[in-house]
Chains A and B, each alone.
Chain A
Amino acid sequence: MQFTIEVNNRSIRAEKGETILSALNRNGIMIPTLCRMAEFTPTGACRMCVVEVEGRDRLVTACSAPVEEWMKIQTHSPRVIRARKTIVELLLANHPDDCLYCERNLDCELQRLADQLQVRERRIRASKIKPRRDQSSPAIVRELSKCILCGRCIRVCEEVITATSIDFMGRGSSTHVGPAMDRDFNFSSCIHCGQCVLVCPTGALHEKHYLSEVQEQLSSDNVIRVIQYSPLVPWALAGELGVKYNRDFDRVLNAVLRKIGFDKVFLSGTGTDILITELADEILRRQESGDKRNLIVSACPAWVKYCEQFYPGLLPILSTLKTPQQISGAIIKSAVLPDDDHQRVYTVSVTPCTAMKFEARRDSMTRKGISDIDTVLTVRELARLIILYGIDVSNIGPEAADEPLALRSSASLMAETAGGITESVIRSLFVKAGNREADRIAAKKLRAAGSFRETTVTAGGGTFSVAVVDGMKGFEKLKQMLDGGTVYDLIEVMACPGGCVNGGGMQPAGSREAVRQRSRFVWQTNDQEAVRGPEQSASVAALYGEVFEECSELADKTLFHTRFDKREVLL
């Protein structure tokens, strides 16, 4: 039902049941918000969105108050603006004045609000919060003095990721956000998904930077510098750098990375192709031997840690295959450029993920004390590196990546969105069965909205049931199905809602619709690309045909597998 309300002495249409904020936004009136997150129940905690409602003594929070027919609202009256400005001034009172040195300088919501409300002097003075910087986690850094206690990270961690690794500690002026027992982050149940980083309005939470390490390696002698990047990176990077993306940019990036000083540029997507091939083989092997067991994809390192700490009982049904990044890394350091007395190889991987930073350091991902991937960078970090090295991406011609990890199929790009690995594996099953057309109905079901999706496909002689968990919220449903005795031939779990397109190393999407938009880009690109699956990729053929034969550990595929162990953390 629609009705008319009066806003700033003009009438606008409002819908029954919506909040004042949504009615205003729909009518072109913007109100600053801080603690609000799209698709979450509003809390009205920060009071940034206050408006004046005639007949009410106190200011009303627009984000949480339902709009009513009798309302006469002032959104930018002097009283309202003064109130909002005071809130920002109070937040700034104990905030460290180090914006110039801050991670989020020029990209900070608090800074933007202070600017919009024209805070030009320090009116309220308070003692500064004692700086406390927690760098213990390999992926996420906490800077407690920059925290404004909006609580967004806490809500994401509890309501979306369900890891509940952080909460408010203490009370009053000593309140802060921290993990259990107020320990450092590395002891906590954090799964490094980085969703908290995406919602933090200030620089209080950010990914751990490894740029100085990369710079050091770029300028040292006798090192072969290798970089690989995930299929989504070129597109995400274009957005980060503010240039228009087109298909050529994928290959422009190769040239850019060589200009920075990397000797070899590889694609992690080739690793994804191998993962998909191996998964399809495993499923077919089980099908042939009548071995009906659940198989959960272990391609999401955040999910793997989640499983290790919360559900160690599921570890036996977790696929032991490494993630694409680690598969590529293992190939590079074992067959392509072995690390030996004559050469030192330094490998960098660029991903849309923060958990990969943690994964690369797992004991089980190293061989003889050497890790397959030395440094993991997020898309944001790579953008900074490119800017730092003064490279004009709009003025560079495309180049091909280096053999033997030079090509990727569109199936590997699909893996960047939730349900994509499953779809790609199904596609491979169809190809192996001699049927070149993938099951469109299955694809439609796997691309539907919702955090848990399942379907059954028939390829060749076999029927395969698959399930996709899109964001940890959907895991509850999967757990119910598994407890009920359902057996899936393939289960894909992605910790971040939407999959890697919404990863912790990407630009914040802001809403579920924006994440879906990114998935649509992936699906569209997938439809346009010629090399549909790993079977058509020349790189995969060359790897299986020649490269793997030269290395016994690759030939018997032991290097593609890892192990997972129960993890003792404070749950």
Chain B
Amino acid sequence: MSILNNYFFRSNEYISRLYLIVSSLTTFGLITLYSISNDPLSINSSFIRQIIFIIFSLLVFFILSNINVKTIHDNSTLIYIFSFLLCLIPFFLPPVENTYRWIDLGFFYIQPGEYLKCATIILIAKYLSNHQLEVKEGYIVFIPILIAFLSSFLVLNQPDLGTAVIIFAPVLPMMLWAGVNGFTIFLLITPVITIIAASNNLIFNIWGVLMFIIFLFFQGSFLKRVLIYFANIFTGLLFPFFWNDFLNGYQRQRFIDFLNPDLDPMGSSYHIIQSMTAIGSGGLFGKGWGQGSQTQLKFLPVQESDFILSVIAEEFGFFGISVIMFLFFMLIKTLLDIAFKSTDYFSSIVIIGLSSILFSHIFINSAMTIGLMPVKGLPTPFVSAGGSFMLLCFIMLSLINIFSRN
């Protein structure tokens, strides 16, 4: 018992709250999967498979929880290189569904890109925590961004736009947490806004003026500000070329479909329309467990993973979604609390990174089901069916467990 105590029961009140939330979410996921499956008790149903994945993930969780923070800290570069190489393997294997995202283990597909997310966070956290004296300086941001860029560049070539975006998601919160100053962070956001603004001449001009005013009031050398300002403007002007020549057809298509879902009702925006129909028709209290016609009649695509929230919304209504959203909120809030209370800088930053990854999954996935974002193949943490991602969630959970042990 003492060993278990060491890794599990000894945990503080935040950790036990976390376990409660995670078990609620997985239970909710299982209930939903049971409703979706035609024959829930057969060995091939997503329900039973999910149970098997959870048990397997729990085992991995217990094993990994034995590692201590120092081991991870000291070997973070090694972990990153290992994950990076793992991501290269699929390129030497036959493609699965025309992509190089998966490694087929026979009984199970793993998606190495998922683990690269964690490795990237750990490496960035190590860098930030080791350079705490320089964080006030602007140049500190280059190394973390370079690491994130390296990872996401690899993933983008698999191609997996969703994961590539997720890899960038933790960078800003982690830097903010580490104390990088507000202007630097603003500088990092500006290119993104510039790119979005570039789609429309008027908006681009307004943004150009707005950016000019903000740059005037911030500190730093005049030359630096002018250079960054014009770099932004050029990014905006070059973006259309990037859009046309650099993005894959399907990526562009998904983005366009997102902007106007009614254009192609049977194509990729079919997903969005069906999902919104499922959600909207759920109403306040839902159609009842196993009663969702959109779900049960298979109008709703990839309902056991990417669109599982739509199933919940249809069958349990706004009430059910509110419960799920509350659980997600509590999950992330608890992680923030843990990070805030943590006595160790490195651990604290890693937890912020992990919570950013979880939250970006939650946000992008939910926003996608309700038509606020383009369709990306991103599952919902702890709820969606899928072995590789469930395993990743529990690996993150074990990292959280490890990093909160002080």
Q: A and B from one assembly?
A: no
Q: CB within 8 Å of A: which residues of B? A: none
